[in-house]
Amino acid sequence: MTTILWDTNGTEIVKTLAAERRAAGALASGLALTLVVVTEEEFAEQAQRAATTAASAHPCRLLVVVRRRVDADDRLDAEVQVGGRLGANEAVMMRMYGRLALHAESVVLPLLASDAPVVTWWHGATPEKLAYDALGVLASRRVTDATTEGEDAMAALKRRARDFAPGDSDLAWTRTTPWRALLASAFDDMNEEITSGEVHSEHGNPSAALLAGWLTSRLGVRVKRVDSAGPGITAVELRFPGKSRLRIDRPDGYLATLSRTGISDRQLPLKRRELGDLLAEELRRLDADQPYADALSAVTGEKGLDDRPPMRTLVWRDPARRAAGIKRAKPTKPAKKPATKAATKAATKATSKSGTKTATTKRSGSKVPARKAATGKKKPAS
């Protein structure tokens, strides 16, 4: 069943969800976690499809928060369903307008499944620091995606490294799982020492950077990134002493060829996965991802990522007030230079002279110059 609520509030959503659960009966039991999806209107449909795919593999309560314009009137529209188009789970899709979008946690907190972990996934714009968003502070696992942040891959990864806390992960890292599994299996019967390596990918691919960082952290050798035509990661090559090498090629994004010196080539499936499959993989484990922290540290140079505290404290920032403050700010006037001793003396002399000339005295209602008044002489009558 599906219930649509227009211009509603958090209390009505909680009541409607409880009514839907009672009507669904056994379908609403056995929730493993709460998945909070934070997105924008342009990515809402894509986020819904991915979350539905992930929820089909992990019974959860799905809460989709679509943040609309902050400068609009405050309003909350919601769609509550159990076993509807968003899968056989409890799902609430909320569109928040105005200042309410900055306080989404006030609506989300009462909807969290009791005694279940919380995973927050940002699809689209991600805050500069996850502590700026209360929906990230309340989660034990936080999933971002460097490919959707619209900037250089290294800049996005460095920002994530500066703000890293155990429990963070990124879908750019999840995209490397098939490559890591294939490379690890290739070393099962090898004892040779690796001297260098290369990762080929399209320019600015964050997954290639993390894969190179993982190889560097595990093998202890320098792994370069080489640009290619794509799509995504196209090849990985590792070199051994002499002329031996191990190479995996995937030029089309579907089929990979594993070649190794002295052994015949093998073809293996290595298809690029959909967004929902990537998210489902992240929901399989809810503890800290240490290999991701090691790879991120190797790529960005940030040290001690695993030693940071796993909990964040909310840092409140009002984007509307901040924008208004920037708009009102004016350049300050340059300070006046202090007067020199000679200039001060000249100004004092000029003031004393002008004071002598302009000094006046009152006599019979008329103004008489000060010097004439001092002599006592009167003007002869005509």
* Model pLDDT for residues 168-211, shown as the tens digit of each residue: 999 999 999 999 999 999 888 778 889 999 999 998 899 999 99
Residue 214 clears pLDDT 90, i.e. is over it: yes
CA distances, 81 to each of 17, 23, 117, 372 (Å): 7, 11, 21, 102
| pTM: predicted TM-score of the whole model, two decimal places | 0.80
Tens of pLDDT, residue by residue over 80-125, are 998 777 676 889 999 999 999 999 999 999 999 988 999 999 998 8
Beta bridge partner(s), residue 197: 223, 238
Residue 363 clears pLDDT 60, i.e. is over it: no
pLDDT for the residue numbered 136 = 93
pLDDT for the residue numbered 346 = 52
pLDDT for the residue numbered 150 = 66
Q: How far apart are CA 37 and CA 66, in angstroms?
A: 8
Q: How far apart are CA 201 and CA 191, in angstroms?
A: 27
Alpha-carbon dihedral of residues 295, 299, 300, 301, nearest 10 degrees?
Answer: 80
pLDDT for the residue numbered 278 = 96
User: Number of helices and strands (H, E) in the chain?
Assistant: 13, 16
Tens of pLDDT, residue by residue over 239-275, are 998 888 999 999 988 899 999 988 889 999 999 999 9
Q: How far apart are CA 126 and CA 156, in angstroms?
A: 10
Q: How confident is the model at residue 303 (pLDDT cuts 50, 70, 90)?
A: very high
Report whether 68 contacts 41 (CB < 8 A).
Answer: yes
Tens of pLDDT, residue by residue over 219-243, are 999 999 999 988 999 999 999 988 8
CATH 3.40.50 for domain 2-171+275-319: yes
What residue spans define the domains of the chain?
A: 2-171+275-319, 177-269
